[in-house]
Amino acid sequence: MAQLSSIMSSFDIFLAPFFPVLGYEHGRSWVQVQVSQGFLLAYGINSRTAEQADPFFNDMQHAGCVQTATVVPNSVPVSKEKLSRVVIVGGGVAGLTLAHNLEQANIDYVVLDKGVVALPWGTSISIHPNGCRILYQIGTLDAVEAKCVPMERFYNRGLSGYSYVHDFFFQSVTSRTGYTTLTLERRGFLQALYDTPESKSKIRKRCCVKNVIEENGIVRVLLEDDMKVTYNAIIACVPQQPGLGLNHMHRTSFNNLSFLMLCQPDTVYLAAHFKLPESEQTCWPSRTRYTEQDMKDYAAKVSDRPVSESVLFRELWRKKTGAHIASLQEGVLDHWFFSRTALLWDCVHKVTPNAGFGGSTTMESALALANALHDAISAHPNKKPSDIEIKDALQPYQNARKSRVLEIF
As a whole number of angstroms, the distance between CA 144 and CA 140 comes to 6
83 and 205 inside one domain: yes
pLDDT of residue 142: 95
133 and 53 inside one domain: yes
pLDDT class of 227 with cuts at 50, 70, 90: low
* Most confident stretch, 14-23, 119-128, 387-396: 387-396
Find out whether 345 and 369 touch, Cβ atoms under 8 Å: no
State yes or no: pLDDT of 38 exceeds 50. Answer: no
As a whole number of angstroms, the distance between CA 17 and CA 344 comes to 6
User: pTM score > 0.85 for this model?
Assistant: no
Region 73-78: what's the mean pLDDT?
31
Question: Is 163 domain-assigned?
Answer: no
As a whole number of angstroms, the distance between CA 170 and CA 179 comes to 9
319 and 236 inside one domain: yes
Among the candidates 309, 330, 351, a domain finishes at 330
269 and 124 inside one domain: no
State yes or no: pLDDT of 135 exceeds 90. Answer: yes
As a whole number of angstroms, the distance between CA 393 and CA 140 comes to 27
* DSSP helix/strand/coil, 356: coil
pLDDT of residue 65: 33
237 and 379 inside one domain: no
Question: Is 165 domain-assigned?
Answer: no
pLDDT class of 300 with cuts at 50, 70, 90: very high
pLDDT averaged over the chain?
75
In terms of C-beta density within 10 A (0-12 exposed, 13-18 middle, 19 or more buried), how is residue 271 classed? Answer: buried
Question: Is 144 domain-assigned?
Answer: yes
pLDDT of residue 42: 24
pLDDT of residue 27: 29
* Most confident stretch, 5-19, 72-86, 102-116: 102-116
192 and 113 inside one domain: yes
Find out whether 50 and 140 touch, Cβ atoms under 8 Å: no
State yes or no: pLDDT of 58 exceeds 90. Answer: no
Q: Which of 199, 124, 126, 86 is closest to 360 using CA atoms?
A: 126
Find out whether 250 and 308 touch, Cβ atoms under 8 Å: yes
Question: Could you write out the DSSP letters of every residue in 42-104?
Answer: --SB--S-TTTS-HHHHHHHHTT----B---TT-S---SS-S-EEEEE--SHHHHHHHHHHHH
256 and 365 inside one domain: no
pLDDT of residue 79: 34
Percent of all residues in the chain with a pLDDT value above 70, rounded to a whole number: 73
For 139-184, the pLDDT digits (tens) are 999 999 999 998 888 999 998 999 998 888 888 989 999 999 999 9
State yes or no: pLDDT of 43 exceeds 80. Answer: no
Cis peptide before 385 (omega within 30 of 0): no
* Beta-sheet strands, E only, within 304-408: 322-332, 337-338, 341-342, 349-350
Region 212-235: what's the mean pLDDT?
65
As a whole number of angstroms, the distance between CA 232 and CA 282 comes to 11
Between 93-107, 269-283, 336-350, 353-367, the lowest mean confidence (pLDDT) is in 336-350
Q: Pairing mode, if any, of strands 322-332 and 228-239?
A: antiparallel
Between 15-24, 37-46, 135-144, 365-374, the lowest mean confidence (pLDDT) is in 37-46
pLDDT of residue 59: 39
CA dist 302 → 32, 237, 251, 329 (Å): 42, 17, 15, 22
Number of domains within the chain:
2
Question: Is 168 domain-assigned?
Answer: no
275 and 129 inside one domain: no
As a whole number of angstroms, the distance between CA 306 and CA 314 comes to 9
At 208, which CATH number? Answer: 3.50.50.60
242 and 293 inside one domain: yes
State yes or no: pLDDT of 64 exceeds 60. Answer: no
pLDDT of residue 231: 58
As a whole number of angstroms, the distance between CA 71 and CA 44 comes to 9
pLDDT of residue 241: 72
184 and 267 inside one domain: no
Question: Is 166 domain-assigned?
Answer: no
Phi, psi (degrees; rounded to nearest 5) at 192: -65, -40
Among the candidates 281, 298, 330, a domain finishes at 330
pLDDT class of 57 with cuts at 50, 70, 90: very low
Beta carbons within 8 Å of 210's beta carbon, 6+ residues apart: 4, 222, 223, 224
Residue-range definition of the domain harbouring residue 301: 228-330
Question: Is 189 domain-assigned?
Answer: yes
State yes or no: pLDDT of 14 exceeds 70. Answer: no
At 297, which CATH number? Answer: 3.30.70
Find out whether 93 and 363 touch, Cβ atoms under 8 Å: yes
Beta carbons within 8 Å of 337's beta carbon, 6+ residues apart: 31, 33, 343, 391, 394, 395, 397, 398
Among the candidates 330, 356, 384, a domain finishes at 330
312 and 355 inside one domain: no
Between 7-16, 21-30, 150-159, 162-171, the lowest mean confidence (pLDDT) is in 21-30
106 and 9 inside one domain: yes
Question: Is 172 domain-assigned?
Answer: no
CA dist 246 → 63, 128, 162, 178, 261 (Å): 36, 18, 18, 22, 11
pLDDT of residue 120: 67
pLDDT of residue 67: 35
Question: Is 317 domain-assigned?
Answer: yes
